[in-house]
Every structure is written in structure tokens, then in C-alpha cells.
Amino acid sequence: MLGEEGLPSVMTVRGQKVHDVRYGENPHQAGAFYRIAGTTPYGLGAAEVLQGKELSFNNYLDLETVLAGVREFTAPTAYIVKHTSPCGVASHAVLAQAYSDALECDPLSAFGGIVGFNREVDSDTAQALLDGMDKYGFLECVLAPSFSTEAREKLAVKKNLRLVAVSDLCALDTYDYKRVTGGFIAQQLDLLTDPEELTVVTKAQPTPHQLEELKFAWRVCKTTKSNAIVYAKGTMTVGIGGGLYSRVDANMIAARKAGDRAQGAVLASDAFFPQPDNIDVAHAAGVVAVIQPGGSIKDQEVIEKCDALGIAMVVTGVRHFKH
């Protein structure tokens, strides 16, 4: 896209302050939200807060994860975030059901979370949000392209719940960048959603249904913080481990969250397995099929371990680190 010369030799990010926030990541830090100056507002720069308190610094951070998350899905999808990583994602023809499914993944983590939808929030979905709050505790924000009048009326009882409308979920920045002291690192966005080619590397072959489950889990994995492991069944996550130091830790967290629901589930890993120990953890939990990029020095050992345990493994050739 950018040719051999890579990124531009000078990059300028110019922000126009939209408002101060109450404080930064912590109460002793001042903070503010800036929109990219000289552009038509887009993304969170075009967000409308329909209800609730002003957005906080940490709300913006989690809303960005939610926005990047729901963007990945074409089917109606609910995406719940806590501390910048998803803790429950589900797709379902009925949006309210997608939310209930997503919430059941890890209700403990969803407490105080941020929820995103890639469809208008309708009355039933609003009810599902209220029911979820009654059962598991409050939410900080709900982001969606729009909210129906009935949904807004229902959700008005939760005065502190912020309803955030971002009409165009798919507007993108040109580059991603992250501050480091004395400069920043910039990169192209990670726009590869579906793996171009899936290669089955094990004796066991995934069934067509498992293949769809694997693709769903892979999509969630892409927007989960590294090291990321996602357990899924159908089009709902049942356990997610994200932001972990070691892949086997992420796997153990995901397995623990999944519990009995890991029986017959599939697993996605955002990067290769450095050791076959991850397959042992997955197998002990009940996982029957795995999707991962491949490319480890120990790929052959990992494949042999799968073959010994009757697990089907699909390799994408694409990695999705996200820090």
C-alpha cells in the first residue's frame, strides 16, 4: 500500500480539544479528549453522548476497543470490554440474544464494563442490558450506531449509563501510533480480518461447523490484547484470556472462565504456540479444534501433540498481536 519506502518521513498529529475530562487515567492526572483538527469529525471524534455523564479518559480507551471490536463483524454482534480487552463476544441474528450470550462468557469481568453493538440497539436489547445489570451489576457505556426511541426510553432509568452513538462504525484513521518517550511508533492499521488461506495441518480435520466456529474465534482473537487465547462455541465466546505475559497463562485463564463449556469448544490463539504445553491445557479443558498462525520453531511438536490427542488444527499464516 505504501510501497518500499514505508511510512511518511514526517507525521503530524494535530488535535483540537473537544473537552477536558474529569481526570486522566487516575484522579491525580489532568486529561482531555482531542479531535483530529481540520477533518470532518469521525470515529470517537463524532461520538454523540445521548445519555449519562461525560465520557472519562478510561471510557474513551475502552470505547476504542469496543469500536475496533464490533467493526470486525458483519452479523449482529455484542462485544463487552473490560480494561481494553474483550471479556465476552457473541453474534446472533437476534441482537438481544447476542448480548445475553456475550454476557454469560465472563459476567465477573463484565461488571463495570463497556458494551458495543454493530446494530441499532432495539427495545429487546435494551431490556437485555437492564436484565444483565440487575443480575451482574452496572455498566459504564453502551456504544452502537444508533438507539431506537423505545430503547432510549427503557435505558433512561439508568441515569449514569452513558449511551454513545457512533453512526459510522467503519470510519478509520490512516495510521495507528503509540507514544514512547521522545517520539512515537506508527504503523498501518491491522486490516486483515479473515485469514486468506486456512491450512489444516493435523490428521484430524475440522467439520464445516467447527470451521465456522474457528473463524469466529479468530476474529475475536484479532481484537483481544496479546497474549490472547479465545475459547468459543458456535458464535459465542465461552472463555477469553487477553493481555497476559505468557500464552499458557492466557490459556489457563480462558479455560478457567470456560469451565464445563470448554467441552467440545474451539480455541483461537493470536500468535503461534511456543511450546506444545498449550495443547495439553486446551485438551484437558475439552477443546477439540484450534486455529493459530503457525511459525514456531516447535510447530512440528505442537502438531504431533494435536495428532496424539485427536485435535484438529488450522493454521492461518497471519499473526494478530495487539498491545
Q: In terms of CB distance, is 288 or 302 closer to its own copies?
A: 302
Stretch that binds its own copies, among 25-33, 116-124, 198-206, 283-291 (CB under 8 A): 25-33
Q: Is residue 195 at the binding interface for its own copies, with CB under 8 A as the rule? A: no
Give me the amino acid identity at 200.
V
Give me the amino acid identity at 280.
D
Burial of 176 (0-12, 13-18, 19+ CB in 10 A): middle
CA distance 125 to 117: 10
Half-sphere exposure of 113 (CA within 13 A, CB side): 29
Site for its own copies in 43-62 (CB under 8 A): 43-46, 57-58, 60-61
- Nearest approach in angstroms of CB 247 to its own copies is 10
Does residue 228 sit in helix, strand or coil? coil
Q: In terms of CB distance, is 40 or 74 closer to its own copies?
A: 40
Among positions 253, 258, 281, 312, the unique one binding its own copies when judged by CB under 8 A: 253
User: Cβ(165)–Cβ(144) under 8 Å?
Assistant: yes
Q: Is residue 21 at the binding interface for its own copies, with CB under 8 A as the rule? A: yes
Among positions 52, 68, 102, 236, the unique one binding its own copies when judged by CB under 8 A: 68
β-bridge pairing 266-269 and 175-180: unpaired
Q: Which among 164, 120, 115 is positioned nearest to 138, based on CA atoms?
A: 115
Site for its own copies in 108-137 (CB under 8 A): 108-109, 111-112
Site for its own copies in 202-241 (CB under 8 A): 225-227, 240
CA distance 294 to 270: 10
Q: Is residue 266 at the binding interface for its own copies, with CB under 8 A as the rule? A: no
Count of residues that bind its own copies according to CB under 8 A: 95
Stretch that binds its own copies, among 19-27, 126-134, 201-209, 260-268 (CB under 8 A): 19-27
Q: In terms of CB distance, is 187 or 199 closer to its own copies?
A: 187
Helices 247-258 and 277-285, packing angle to 10 deg: 0
Stretch that binds its own copies, among 117-125, 144-152, 189-197, 300-308 (CB under 8 A): 189-197
Site for its own copies in 155-174 (CB under 8 A): 171-173
Among positions 74, 135, 159, 245, the unique one binding its own copies when judged by CB under 8 A: 245
Q: Which among 249, 284, 254, 285 is positioned nearest to 268, based on CA atoms?
A: 254
